Amino acid sequence: MPVSLKTEEEITHMRVAGRLAAEVLDHVAPHVRPGVTTGRLNDLCHDYMVGVQGTIPAPLNYAPPGYKPFPKSICTSVNHQVCHGIPGDRVLKPGDIVNIDVTVIKDAYHGDCSRMFFVGEPSIQARRLVEVTYECMWHGIAQVRPGTHLGDIGGAIQQYAERHGYSVVREFCGHGIGRKFHEEPQVLHYGRPGTGMVLEPGMTFTIEPMINAGKAPIRELADGWTIVTKDHSLSAQWEHTVLVSGSGYEVMTLSAGTQPPPAFVP
Protein backbone atom coordinates (compact mmCIF):
# COMPACT_ATOMS: atom_id res chain seq x y z
CA MET A 1 0.00 0.00 0.00
CA PRO A 2 1.47 3.39 -0.98
CA VAL A 3 2.35 6.07 1.58
CA SER A 4 -0.04 9.03 1.65
CA LEU A 5 1.78 12.35 1.17
CA LYS A 6 -0.37 14.99 2.82
CA THR A 7 -1.41 18.22 1.11
CA GLU A 8 -1.17 21.58 2.85
CA GLU A 9 -4.90 21.42 3.60
CA GLU A 10 -4.54 17.96 5.13
CA ILE A 11 -1.54 19.07 7.17
CA THR A 12 -3.60 21.94 8.57
CA HIS A 13 -6.29 19.48 9.69
CA MET A 14 -3.68 17.20 11.23
CA ARG A 15 -2.12 20.03 13.22
CA VAL A 16 -5.52 20.68 14.76
CA ALA A 17 -6.15 16.99 15.53
CA GLY A 18 -2.65 16.59 16.96
CA ARG A 19 -2.99 19.61 19.24
CA LEU A 20 -6.37 18.41 20.48
CA ALA A 21 -4.96 14.95 21.30
CA ALA A 22 -2.18 16.55 23.33
CA GLU A 23 -4.67 18.79 25.12
CA VAL A 24 -6.56 15.72 26.33
CA LEU A 25 -3.34 14.65 28.08
CA ASP A 26 -3.01 18.15 29.56
CA HIS A 27 -6.57 17.86 30.84
CA VAL A 28 -6.12 14.50 32.53
CA ALA A 29 -2.63 15.13 33.94
CA PRO A 30 -3.73 16.67 37.30
CA HIS A 31 -5.95 13.65 37.96
CA VAL A 32 -3.15 11.06 37.67
CA ARG A 33 -2.57 10.53 41.37
CA PRO A 34 -2.79 7.77 43.97
CA GLY A 35 -6.29 6.44 44.54
CA VAL A 36 -7.72 7.17 41.10
CA THR A 37 -8.85 4.30 38.90
CA THR A 38 -7.81 3.96 35.29
CA GLY A 39 -11.51 3.86 34.47
CA ARG A 40 -11.96 7.30 36.01
CA LEU A 41 -9.10 8.63 33.87
CA ASN A 42 -10.84 7.17 30.82
CA ASP A 43 -14.12 8.87 31.73
CA LEU A 44 -12.41 12.22 32.24
CA CYS A 45 -10.75 11.97 28.84
CA HIS A 46 -13.89 10.73 27.09
CA ASP A 47 -16.05 13.52 28.47
CA TYR A 48 -13.47 16.15 27.52
CA MET A 49 -13.07 14.78 23.99
CA VAL A 50 -16.77 14.44 23.26
CA GLY A 51 -18.25 17.22 25.37
CA VAL A 52 -15.62 19.97 25.16
CA GLN A 53 -13.51 19.36 22.06
CA GLY A 54 -16.15 17.84 19.82
CA THR A 55 -13.70 15.08 18.88
CA ILE A 56 -14.26 11.35 18.45
CA PRO A 57 -12.18 8.95 20.61
CA ALA A 58 -10.58 6.77 17.94
CA PRO A 59 -9.85 3.74 20.19
CA LEU A 60 -13.50 3.30 21.28
CA ASN A 61 -14.84 0.21 19.49
CA TYR A 62 -11.75 0.10 17.26
CA ALA A 63 -11.49 -3.46 15.94
CA PRO A 64 -8.66 -4.34 13.56
CA PRO A 65 -8.79 -7.81 11.98
CA GLY A 66 -8.52 -10.53 14.60
CA TYR A 67 -9.41 -8.28 17.53
CA LYS A 68 -12.65 -7.71 19.40
CA PRO A 69 -13.67 -4.04 19.67
CA PHE A 70 -11.59 -2.01 22.14
CA PRO A 71 -14.07 -1.05 24.89
CA LYS A 72 -12.67 2.29 26.08
CA SER A 73 -11.66 5.73 24.76
CA ILE A 74 -8.00 5.74 25.83
CA CYS A 75 -5.31 3.18 26.68
CA THR A 76 -3.83 3.11 30.19
CA SER A 77 -0.76 0.88 30.57
CA VAL A 78 0.59 0.57 34.12
CA ASN A 79 4.05 -0.60 35.23
CA HIS A 80 4.84 -3.83 33.32
CA GLN A 81 1.97 -3.27 30.87
CA VAL A 82 3.59 -2.36 27.57
CA CYS A 83 0.62 -0.99 25.62
CA HIS A 84 -3.12 -1.23 24.96
CA GLY A 85 -4.06 -1.46 28.63
CA ILE A 86 -7.84 -1.31 29.05
CA PRO A 87 -9.02 1.23 31.65
CA GLY A 88 -11.12 -0.24 34.43
CA ASP A 89 -11.21 -0.77 38.19
CA ARG A 90 -7.45 -0.74 38.75
CA VAL A 91 -6.52 1.79 41.43
CA LEU A 92 -3.25 3.63 40.87
CA LYS A 93 -0.80 3.38 43.77
CA PRO A 94 2.16 5.55 44.84
CA GLY A 95 5.21 4.62 42.78
CA ASP A 96 3.26 3.38 39.76
CA ILE A 97 4.14 4.59 36.29
CA VAL A 98 1.40 4.79 33.67
CA ASN A 99 1.27 5.50 29.96
CA ILE A 100 -1.86 7.25 28.72
CA ASP A 101 -2.38 6.94 24.98
CA VAL A 102 -4.87 9.26 23.29
CA THR A 103 -6.08 9.34 19.70
CA VAL A 104 -8.79 11.76 18.62
CA ILE A 105 -10.57 12.26 15.32
CA LYS A 106 -11.40 15.83 14.30
CA ASP A 107 -12.89 16.65 10.90
CA ALA A 108 -11.99 13.11 9.74
CA TYR A 109 -8.27 13.40 10.69
CA HIS A 110 -6.48 11.59 13.51
CA GLY A 111 -4.18 12.99 16.17
CA ASP A 112 -2.22 10.42 18.19
CA CYS A 113 0.14 10.81 21.15
CA SER A 114 0.98 9.34 24.54
CA ARG A 115 2.83 10.35 27.68
CA MET A 116 4.21 8.67 30.76
CA PHE A 117 3.01 9.81 34.18
CA PHE A 118 4.41 9.20 37.66
CA VAL A 119 1.89 8.34 40.37
CA GLY A 120 3.38 9.98 43.43
CA GLU A 121 7.14 9.55 43.72
CA PRO A 122 8.64 6.90 41.44
CA SER A 123 11.62 4.70 42.23
CA ILE A 124 14.98 5.77 40.86
CA GLN A 125 14.83 2.85 38.42
CA ALA A 126 11.36 3.77 37.16
CA ARG A 127 12.27 7.43 36.72
CA ARG A 128 15.39 6.50 34.77
CA LEU A 129 13.46 4.19 32.44
CA VAL A 130 10.82 6.83 31.73
CA GLU A 131 13.44 9.52 31.08
CA VAL A 132 15.56 7.32 28.80
CA THR A 133 12.45 6.25 26.87
CA TYR A 134 11.56 9.91 26.31
CA GLU A 135 15.08 10.50 25.03
CA CYS A 136 14.77 7.42 22.79
CA MET A 137 11.69 8.93 21.14
CA TRP A 138 13.51 12.18 20.54
CA HIS A 139 16.60 10.47 19.15
CA GLY A 140 14.21 8.95 16.61
CA ILE A 141 12.43 12.22 15.88
CA ALA A 142 15.77 13.99 15.37
CA GLN A 143 16.50 11.70 12.41
CA VAL A 144 13.41 12.84 10.49
CA ARG A 145 14.06 14.90 7.37
CA PRO A 146 13.72 14.36 3.62
CA GLY A 147 16.22 11.87 2.27
CA THR A 148 16.86 9.91 5.46
CA HIS A 149 15.61 6.35 5.93
CA LEU A 150 13.14 4.73 8.29
CA GLY A 151 16.06 2.59 9.47
CA ASP A 152 17.78 5.74 10.70
CA ILE A 153 14.88 6.33 13.11
CA GLY A 154 14.81 2.77 14.42
CA GLY A 155 18.58 2.50 14.58
CA ALA A 156 18.92 5.67 16.67
CA ILE A 157 16.26 4.49 19.13
CA GLN A 158 17.67 0.98 19.46
CA GLN A 159 21.25 2.13 19.94
CA TYR A 160 20.29 4.61 22.66
CA ALA A 161 18.06 2.15 24.53
CA GLU A 162 20.58 -0.67 24.46
CA ARG A 163 23.39 1.66 25.50
CA HIS A 164 21.43 2.17 28.72
CA GLY A 165 20.85 -1.54 29.25
CA TYR A 166 17.23 -1.57 28.07
CA SER A 167 15.46 -3.52 25.33
CA VAL A 168 13.13 -2.45 22.51
CA VAL A 169 9.77 -4.13 21.98
CA ARG A 170 9.79 -5.52 18.44
CA GLU A 171 6.16 -6.51 17.87
CA PHE A 172 4.68 -2.99 17.87
CA CYS A 173 5.78 0.03 15.89
CA GLY A 174 4.93 3.54 14.84
CA HIS A 175 2.65 4.01 11.87
CA GLY A 176 1.49 6.39 9.22
CA ILE A 177 -1.58 8.38 10.20
CA GLY A 178 -4.09 10.73 8.61
CA ARG A 179 -7.65 9.99 7.64
CA LYS A 180 -6.95 6.46 8.81
CA PHE A 181 -5.81 5.56 12.31
CA HIS A 182 -3.07 3.29 10.92
CA GLU A 183 -1.56 3.89 7.49
CA GLU A 184 1.73 3.11 5.82
CA PRO A 185 4.60 3.26 6.58
CA GLN A 186 5.38 1.07 9.56
CA VAL A 187 7.99 2.83 11.69
CA LEU A 188 10.11 0.26 13.53
CA HIS A 189 11.88 1.31 16.72
CA TYR A 190 14.92 -0.82 15.93
CA GLY A 191 16.94 -1.38 12.78
CA ARG A 192 19.97 -0.48 10.75
CA PRO A 193 20.71 3.11 9.71
CA GLY A 194 20.62 3.66 5.96
CA THR A 195 18.01 0.98 5.34
CA GLY A 196 14.29 1.10 4.68
CA MET A 197 12.01 3.59 2.99
CA VAL A 198 13.36 7.05 2.17
CA LEU A 199 11.46 9.87 3.87
CA GLU A 200 9.65 12.46 1.73
CA PRO A 201 7.99 15.77 2.58
CA GLY A 202 4.31 15.31 3.41
CA MET A 203 4.69 11.98 5.23
CA THR A 204 2.99 11.90 8.63
CA PHE A 205 3.62 9.11 11.10
CA THR A 206 3.99 8.31 14.78
CA ILE A 207 7.20 7.55 16.63
CA GLU A 208 6.28 5.67 19.81
CA PRO A 209 9.04 3.45 21.21
CA MET A 210 8.16 0.90 23.88
CA ILE A 211 11.23 0.29 26.01
CA ASN A 212 11.54 -2.47 28.62
CA ALA A 213 13.77 -2.35 31.69
CA GLY A 214 14.29 -6.10 31.30
CA LYS A 215 14.12 -8.33 28.25
CA ALA A 216 12.18 -7.60 25.07
CA PRO A 217 9.69 -10.53 24.92
CA ILE A 218 6.04 -9.71 25.58
CA ARG A 219 2.75 -11.54 25.90
CA GLU A 220 -0.93 -10.71 25.49
CA LEU A 221 -3.36 -10.97 28.39
CA ALA A 222 -6.65 -12.85 28.23
CA ASP A 223 -8.58 -9.63 27.52
CA GLY A 224 -7.22 -9.81 23.97
CA TRP A 225 -5.65 -6.33 24.10
CA THR A 226 -3.32 -5.67 27.03
CA ILE A 227 0.34 -6.39 26.30
CA VAL A 228 2.78 -7.04 29.18
CA THR A 229 6.45 -7.86 29.54
CA LYS A 230 7.07 -11.58 29.83
CA ASP A 231 9.60 -11.10 32.62
CA HIS A 232 7.33 -8.66 34.51
CA SER A 233 9.88 -5.86 34.14
CA LEU A 234 8.76 -2.25 33.87
CA SER A 235 7.98 -0.82 30.44
CA ALA A 236 7.64 2.76 29.24
CA GLN A 237 6.42 4.48 26.08
CA TRP A 238 6.18 8.00 24.70
CA GLU A 239 4.56 9.00 21.41
CA HIS A 240 4.39 11.98 19.08
CA THR A 241 2.96 12.36 15.60
CA VAL A 242 5.47 13.97 13.24
CA LEU A 243 5.40 15.50 9.77
CA VAL A 244 8.31 15.27 7.37
CA SER A 245 8.65 18.92 6.36
CA GLY A 246 10.59 20.44 3.50
CA SER A 247 13.76 20.71 5.54
CA GLY A 248 13.27 18.51 8.60
CA TYR A 249 10.37 17.62 10.85
CA GLU A 250 7.42 19.16 12.64
CA VAL A 251 5.96 17.63 15.79
CA MET A 252 2.19 17.81 15.33
CA THR A 253 1.09 16.77 18.83
CA LEU A 254 2.09 19.86 20.81
CA SER A 255 0.14 21.65 23.54
CA ALA A 256 0.75 23.91 26.51
CA GLY A 257 1.56 20.92 28.69
CA THR A 258 3.87 19.12 26.28
CA GLN A 259 7.24 18.33 27.82
CA PRO A 260 10.06 20.19 26.02
CA PRO A 261 12.60 18.27 23.95
CA PRO A 262 15.78 17.05 25.66
CA ALA A 263 18.82 19.31 25.60
CA PHE A 264 20.50 17.34 22.81
CA VAL A 265 17.76 18.27 20.30
CA PRO A 266 18.86 21.28 18.19
The pLDDT confidence band at residue 117, using thresholds 50, 70 and 90, is very high
Mean of pLDDT values over 52-63: 98
CA atoms of 182 and 81, how far apart (whole Å): 22
| Percent of the chain residues topping a pLDDT of 90 | 98
Mean of pLDDT values over 161-188: 98
What is the model's pLDDT at position 236? 98
DSSP string, 190-231: S--TT-SPBP-TT-EEEE--EEESS-S-EEE-TTSS-EEETT
pLDDT digits (tens, 9 = 90+) for 223-261: 999 999 999 999 999 999 999 999 999 999 999 999 999
DSSP string, 69-114: PP-SSSEEEETTEEE-PPPSSPBP-TT-EEEEEEEEEETTEEEEEE
CA atoms of 169 and 157, how far apart (whole Å): 11
For the domain spanning 8-251, the CATH number is: 3.90.230.10
CA-CA distances (angstroms) from residue 112 to 23, 69, 157, 176? Answer: 11, 18, 19, 11
The pLDDT confidence band at residue 266, using thresholds 50, 70 and 90, is confident
What is the model's pLDDT at position 125? 98
What is the model's pLDDT at position 184? 97
Residue ranges per structural domain of the chain = 8-251
How many Å from the N-terminal Cα to the C-terminal Cα in the chain? 34
142-161 in b/e burial notation, b at 16+ Cβ within 10 A? bbbebebbbbbbbbbbbebb
CA-CA distances (angstroms) from residue 107 to 9, 50, 131, 183, 264? Answer: 12, 13, 34, 17, 35
pLDDT digits (tens, 9 = 90+) for 64-82: 999 999 999 999 999 999 9
The pLDDT confidence band at residue 142, using thresholds 50, 70 and 90, is very high
pLDDT digits (tens, 9 = 90+) for 4-57: 999 999 999 999 999 999 999 999 999 999 999 999 999 999 999 999 999 999
| Percent of the chain residues topping a pLDDT of 70 | 100
pLDDT digits (tens, 9 = 90+) for 94-105: 999 999 999 999
What are the phi and psi torsion angles at 79 (to 5°)? 60, -105
The answer, yes or no, to whether residue 1 has pLDDT greater than 80, is no
Mean pLDDT across the chain: 98
What is the model's pLDDT at position 76? 98
Q: Is the pTM of this model over 0.85?
A: yes
Mean of pLDDT values over 150-175: 98
Determine the 3-state secondary structure of 182 from DSSP: coil
CA atoms of 78 and 206, how far apart (whole Å): 21
